[in-house]
Amino acid sequence: MPRAGAVRRSETSRSFQALRAYLASRIDEGLVPGAVFAAGRAGAAVHIEAMGHRALFPRPEPMTEGTIFDLASLTKPMVTAPLLVELALRGALGLEDPLERHLEETSGSRVGSLTLGALLAHTSGLPAMNPLEDYAGGKPRLYAAIAREPLAAEPGERLIYSDVGYMLAQGVIERAAGRGLDRLAREEIFGPLGFRDTAFRTRAKDRPRVAPTERLHGDRGPWLRGRVHDPRARSRAMAGVAGNAGVFGTAAETARFCALLLRGGRDGRRRILRSETVRLMTTNQCPPALGVRRGVGFYIESPYAAPRGALFSGESYGHTGYTGVSMWIDPRNEAYFVLLTNSLHAGGHKDLKSFRSEAGTLAARGLGIGGA
């Protein structure tokens, strides 16, 4: 059996020819400058392939398998959700605790009465985002500002994908653990997995490998390369470490995180996450009336579930990121598919739903799911 994280290079596999051709066509059309995809099944080597360009500006650079991407909202299921659930299972807090029990800045407000589990499942009623001006000071000022914001819906009434909820979840984690989110991620997840390229922020020596996103001030500023794209995560309050975004990483290490979940939180003989953490993250935690299925960290069935495509099972789950990244995991078929692109670098934000859906279908076919 191949070792965990073993890589099967493109020249040894013909299974992904259709996916390769599809991605090449979208690169040629200018939808994305380039991509790295990783696909695998439990107990088998992961197939990793790079295509197109890592950068187009200020000069062209070829994409490589070792390219580091701004993973954007993949931060939520890779760091924030598992850390909060782990703290709950250790007894440091409870997922049914009201937020104000852990963030005193929210005491006496509607926001303070929200449960921690609702923050992670996006059923709290919090708005998607709050004003950027709230991030001009420190975190206590931010939490107090959020507490003054009106809810966009009653708790449990509908699913609102909320970065605000994950900012608050970060505050809970950091105060309960007495350490910063970046340090906790390194000590409890990335370090034990042996990751070298996955972290909040990037090392100066690695920045030539980072796929740039956009220019900082429209056409005038420097390219964001190794600095998180999300303006709230990049703010003075968060300084690049945020519950909603901020992690950078490669396709190979993102694939290893997917494999970790398929193995119930184990990496080889070492347990990284509790099996109950994985269960809560990957099974539905939403009431039937909402008409969607979400775990406390992943989409299962929702408008954001495009990477499932037509062939991954109904039990499969995953997440996407604004910068053009996605991960999808199928426990029934013991398979996963990671697609990292730098789509923002090719003319700004685009609707990638159909792109992700078709790529997911072709990846599943390449993995032997759903027939030839």
d(CA 301, CA 292): 5
Q: Chunk the chain into consecutive blocks of 10 residues (it has 372) and report each block's average pLDDT, rounded to whole numbers.
A: 44 82 97 97 90 95 98 98 98 97 98 97 96 96 96 94 97 98 98 97 95 87 94 96 98 97 95 97 90 92 91 96 98 97 91 97 94 56
**CA 366 – CA 17 distance, rounded (Å):** 8
Give the domain CATH number at 131: 3.40.710.10
Q: What is the pLDDT of residue 291?
A: 87
Q: How far apart are the first and last CA of the chain?
A: 25
Q: Are strands 69-70 and 199-200 parallel, antiparallel or unpaired?
A: unpaired
- In angstroms, the CA 190 to CA 184 distance is 9
* Cβ neighbour number for residue 322 with a 10 Å cutoff: 18
DSSP 99-122: GGGT-GGGTTSTGGGSBHHHHHHT
Report yes or no: 357 and 363 within 8 Å, Cβ to Cβ. no
Segments forming the whole domain that contains residue 333 = 1-372
* CA–CA distance, 370 with 47 (Å, rounded to integer): 19
Crossing angle (nearest 10°) for helices 17-29 and 353-366: 160
E-state strands within the chain = 7-8, 34-41, 46-55, 61-62, 69-70, 199-200, 247-249, 266-267, 270-271, 293-294, 299-301, 317-321, 325-330, 335-341
The reported pLDDT for the residue numbered 371 is 61
Ramachandran region of residue 41, left (φ > 0), alpha (ψ -120 to 50) or beta?
beta
- Backbone φ and ψ for 121, nearest 5 degrees, come out as -90, 0
pLDDT of residue 227: 95
Contacts of 314 (CB under 8 A, 6+ apart): 301
Q: Where are the alpha helices (DSSP H) in 107-236?
A: 116-121, 139-148, 163-177, 181-185
What angle is formed at CA 172 by the lines to CA 75 and CA 154, rounded to 5 degrees? 85
Q: What is the pTM of this model?
A: 0.95
Chain CA centroid to CA 214, Å = 19
pLDDT at 2: 37
How many domains is the chain partitioned into structurally?
Answer: 1
- Give the whole-angstrom CA distance, residue 242 versus residue 228: 10
Tokens 């890592």, residue located: 54
